[in-house]
Structure 1
Amino acid sequence: MNIRHFCAWFFTSILGLSTGCTALPNVSAIIDDASTAQSARQLVSVKGVLSPKESRAIMERLKKTVAPTDILARHTVVVESVTDSPLTKGNHVTLLADGQATYAAMFKAIENGRDHINLESYIIEDDETGQAFADLLLQKQAEGVQVNLIYDSFGSMNTPASFFQRLREGGVEIVEFNPINPMKAMPGWGLTHRNHRKILIVDGQIAIIGGINISKVYSSNPLQQRKNQRAPIHWRDTDVEIKGQAVAELQKLFLDTWHTQQGSSLSEGNNYYPDLKGNGHALVRVVGSTPGQTNRVPFVMYVSAITFAEHSIHLTHAYFIPDKQIVKALAKAAERGVDVKIILPGISDSRLPLYSQRHHYAPLLRKGVKIYEHKTSLLHAKTAVIDGVWSTIGSTNMDSLSMLHNNEVNAVILDKKFAQEMERMFSGDIADSEEIHWDQWKKRPLLPSARDWFVNLFARWL
């Protein structure tokens, strides 16, 4: 366990005892209430809110492209019962697999920035990757492009103050999210409340989100490690680039965090909500969350999507310490004949979450869920593709820290073509993974099973 994960475990354990247990919502009750209380809201395009007739027509066209599934109707109503974030039309989405592709897209977007650059990241490290970003951000600031940066105080605790001071001196506006130093804390301060989001927004026109932080660990090539065992371990992660109306929803999240954390007043001369082009074909909903039972939108999103799946559920998750509701939903999906496959880490930057993860294998394998452990890379992605049309990419892990304590963000993408790209990526990850078979797993020695059970007792703080 590295120092950051040890500190996370220690502080959340101590503070969790003093603050009590926050409960996740009962999603079954939310589903029952939503099914009788409302119909799906209208879609939103770059021209505004579409009429109910137009919205229904778009959803009907999408339904005709795939096999029948409740993921497009009933699930949509459930999610809309817990969030005001609209389903937006006309987005262009690009899948970004791994750090090299993501950083290339981020650098291109930043280089083309003309008005503002808003960057939000849990971890920003003072290494060659962090320095490359810093140099480019300072260059753009010197060109007159306003750069605004949010970093998490805990996630970036190993980054020296001089790194951020250099940016400030160059004119970059910076917010340190929930400083771990109590002397710098604001009212309502809580160490367990972390900002785990990773968002880049340029000129209000283009956004990139996912699981990738600013660190050299994401810059390695998987082929290097295969050819040379001494090469740095490859981190396998996923982001998505979005152009269209959904960018405005991500901008709202960024600016809300900026103001909540008492960032400096932003210049009125910058256009944070420009007119957008709706040239794409994907429907996108931005799913953001902040701590509190009523704000656990990603949790509701996942349980509901799994519940309404009819054909396939393909999950890839870096930290899989699921709530009982998620385990139950996955098991029931497999029992009703849904193809449920989950790719999880076989290599981890922290052993304790890996042990806790394995504690959940038995009840899932027993019901027919197929589980794979990724063996060639350190898996850090948080993605899902369901029924060949519903996809999500974001920062949300399947664990208590993400579901209860952190600021998180995911993009939900309804588009058959994009889902097909996600499936191809999933198949590639399956090829680099080893399947866990129930007939072998149930014969595991007592000691590792007992170890996994014991570690899982502390799952809330892993």
Structure 2
Amino acid sequence: MSPLPASPLHHNPVRRIVRGAALAAGAGLVGVPMAVAAGLTGVDMVKRRGRRRRPAHNPGVFDAPVKDSHLRIFTSGEDLYEEMLSAIDSAERIVKFETYIWKADPTGQRFIEAFNRAAARGVEVYVSYDGFGNLVVPRAFYRQLDPRIRVFRLPAFARPFWRGPVRNTGFNHSKIMVVDDEIGFVGGFNIGDDYATFWRDTHVCERGPAVWALDQSISIKWNAHHREGEQMSWRPPESWDPRVTVSANQPPLLVYPIRLTYLEAIQRAQHRIFINTPYFIPDQQVLQALLHAARRGVDVQVMVPQDSNHIVADWASRGFYAEMLEAGITILLYKASMIHAKTATVDGIWSTVGTANIDRLSLGFNYESNVVVVDRDFAARMEEIFAIDAERSERVESPRWQDRHGVARMVERLLVPLRPLL
């Protein structure tokens, strides 16, 4: 792996924008970070114009049976979408689907048409998507859905906060589909052409007991926003399998278990922790758990994109690097494309794949869903994928990072107040 590239803030135009933004905002505790964030975003938009993108590398499709469950790991949107569309076309009774982003492009259109075909042959179809995540998508795109399909758009802003502000925060960031109560999909992939071709992500298809919990994750949030008579019915689980479970954040219930599953797994670690997340902005408890693990000799490796689709999140993340490197944590910057996978393995036995990032929004506000698997064979497949991705990553070297430009250090410090919002 090659050394860390030079900071983009070495370039004079960026430096001037950051300094100008800071001066314009004055000494305001909120104004300065927001102005810096706006400046970074503007520079990033200019840099991305005309940039040629390469198709994402696809490590492959991996089958990993676990007792009563059959799990299939997808690392390519094209492969995943074909499997999902096939499942919709094979549905006989019911399809439940939810996503954060659903683009009005050829890939998104294929899902519209698949849901309409299912509804036309008498399948009960529920569709949910997030209003904020799709602000730029024309409403006319969703109006193509068959009138028999039950559709819910989680409002971007018009929330009933009078019922309780905390219970009505967060986005519907889950990406789940359940078909005929028998097959479930969950992971990081949104729906769209770019995600199919240019993003590296990870999704899991599960046939087995965990499908019930994915179904519950969808039903709880649907029922929290619908009156009696419009709600999804409860069905009993077929069996218990503690080796494949689902952790789902449910803001209406004030339940956020995904953060706890991460903390417990990190605290148990004795040998190695491999984390892949597109946005790494941990709270102090999660950060300290990782630092403590590294200091007691655990091989902790955190992989993030070299350049994600959110430059402010990238710079907020960099503010943690010095302390992580000092503790012995390995930081890998994936450079082949935008990597959006939300996965982790611990000690080659515990794994998670899902929708939650290691940031404040995902762990403490959003609707999120992660499948948790305790199985050595499944963990081996996940570690294999991590190793393949690591070959396309650059390792952050401590001496080089400590010598980074002073303006970069200033930007990292100025963005600290924004961490709770990211």
Shorter chain as denominator, the TM-score bin is: 0.7 to 0.9
- Residue 108 of structure 2: aligned partner: 130
C-alpha distance in 2 between matches for 1:398 and 1:219: 23
- Which residue among 194, 202, 206 is the counterpart of 2:179? 202
Contact 1:321 1:353 in 2 (8 A): yes
C-alpha distance in 2 between matches for 1:313 and 1:365: 15
Give CA deviations for 1:322-377 in whole Å, capped at 9, x if unaligned: 11111211111111111111111101111100001111011110011110101011
Does the residue aligned with 2:144 lie in a helix, a strand or coil? helix
- Residue 355 of structure 1: aligned partner: 315
Task: Tell me if 1:211 matches 2:171.
Answer: no
1:29-428 aligned at under 5 Å gives the runs 90-169=68-147, 171-177=148-154, 179-180=155-156, 182=158, 188=163, 192-220=169-197, 234-262=198-226, 265=229, 273=235, 283-291=243-251, 295-428=255-388
Number of equivalent positions: 357
Give CA deviations for 1:254-284 in whole Å, capped at 9, x if unaligned: 111111111684699xx97488599xx9821
Q: Which amino acid aligns with 2:107?
A: T
- Residue 441 of structure 1: aligned partner: 401
User: Per-residue deviation at 1:296?
Assistant: 2.4
Contact 2:305 2:333 in 1 (8 A): yes
| Bigger mean CA deviation after superposition, 417-426 or 100-109 | 100-109
TM-score if structure 1 supplies the norm length? Answer: 0.73
User: Per-residue deviation at 1:291?
Assistant: 3.1
5+ unaligned residues in a row in structure 1: which ranges? 1-12, 15-87, 221-233
Give CA deviations for 1:46-75 in whole Å, capped at 9, x if unaligned: xxxxxxxxxxxxxxxxxxxxxxxxxxxxxx
Give CA deviations for 1:97-121 in whole Å, capped at 9, x if unaligned: 1312221221121121111110011
C-alpha distance in 2 between matches for 1:267 and 1:352: 39
Contact 1:91 1:283 in 2 (8 A): no
Does the residue aligned with 1:419 lie in a helix, a strand or coil? helix
| Bigger mean CA deviation after superposition, 375-384 or 447-456 | 447-456
Q: 1:293 to 1:302 in 2, by over 3 A?
A: farther
C-alpha distance in 2 between matches for 1:186 and 1:415: 41
Q: Which amino acid aligns with 2:206?
A: I
Does the residue aligned with 2:345 lie in a helix, a strand or coil? strand
User: Per-residue deviation at 1:388?
Assistant: 0.5
User: Per-residue deviation at 1:290?
Assistant: 2.4
Contact 1:312 1:387 in 2 (8 A): yes
Contact 1:347 1:379 in 2 (8 A): no
Q: CA RMSD in A?
A: 2.5
Give CA deviations for 1:277-311 in whole Å, capped at 9, x if unaligned: 99xx9821110112389622111111121111011
Question: Between the two proteins, what is the percent identity of the paired residues?
Answer: 32
C-alpha distance in 2 between matches for 1:187 and 1:157: 24
C-alpha distance in 2 between matches for 1:293 and 1:206: 26
C-alpha distance in 2 between matches for 1:109 and 1:142: 16
C-alpha distance in 2 between matches for 1:108 and 1:388: 32
C-alpha distance in 2 between matches for 1:111 and 1:393: 25
Q: 1:298 to 1:267 in 2, by over 3 A?
A: closer
C-alpha distance in 1 between matches for 2:404 and 2:143: 52
Q: Which amino acid aligns with 1:180?
A: A
Contact 1:89 1:245 in 2 (8 A): no
Does the residue aligned with 2:276 lie in a helix, a strand or coil? strand
Does the residue aligned with 1:298 lie in a helix, a strand or coil? helix
C-alpha distance in 1 between matches for 2:116 and 2:253: 39
Q: 1:149 to 1:186 in 2, by over 3 A?
A: farther
Q: 1:254 to 1:384 in 2, by over 3 A?
A: same
Contact 1:115 1:145 in 2 (8 A): yes
TM-score if structure 2 supplies the norm length? Answer: 0.79
